[in-house]
Amino acid sequence: QVQLVESGGGLVQPGGSLRLSCAASGFTFSTFAMGWFRQAPGKEREFVASINWSGLTTAYGDSVKGRFGISRDDGKNTVYLRMNNLKPEDTAIYYCAKAVDAAASFAMGDYHDWGQGTQVTVSS
């Protein structure tokens, strides 16, 4: 079955950086788009970034454009989220998700498989 395991979260100061990883198994990773979403306390889950099957097409939420970068390594069945210039409002649980097909998407409904999440806290 599909398994998605996130890692790399933690506590970081404002302006700092983190790289999240999501190790995938149980499906042909190279043929599916992948995404990252996040959920802050008391807020709805929101789209962060997506990457298509080839890695050539990416999409980002408005609040992270220019600061975050999504990438994938099909040899390692892993998708990454590089987060730079982190702000306190980036504090959330970050979830990795597998899309239903090869196309990058910002729509939560296009993702049926989710990881357990990794906590990112941005605070001084």
DSSP state of 88: G
Average pLDDT over residues 9-13: 98
pLDDT at 40: 97
Spatial CA neighbour of 43 closest among 22, 59, 61, 60: 61
Rg (CA), the chain: 13
| 97, β-bridge pairs | 35, 114
Spatial CA neighbour of 76 closest among 115, 24, 116: 24
Per-residue pLDDT of 24-65, as tens digits, reads: 999 999 999 999 999 999 999 999 999 999 999 999 999 999
Q: With beta carbons less than 8 A apart as the criterion, state whether 96 and 34 touch.
A: yes
Average pLDDT over residues 77-91: 98
pLDDT at 59: 97
pLDDT at 101: 92
Per-residue pLDDT of 93-106, as tens digits, reads: 999 999 999 999 99
Is beta strand 46-51 parallel, antiparallel or unpaired with respect to 58-60? Answer: antiparallel
Token representation of residue 66 = 């220019």
Average pLDDT, the chain: 97
pLDDT at 51: 98
pLDDT at 121: 98
pLDDT at 73: 98
Q: Is 43 helix (H, G, I), strand (E, B) or coil?
A: coil
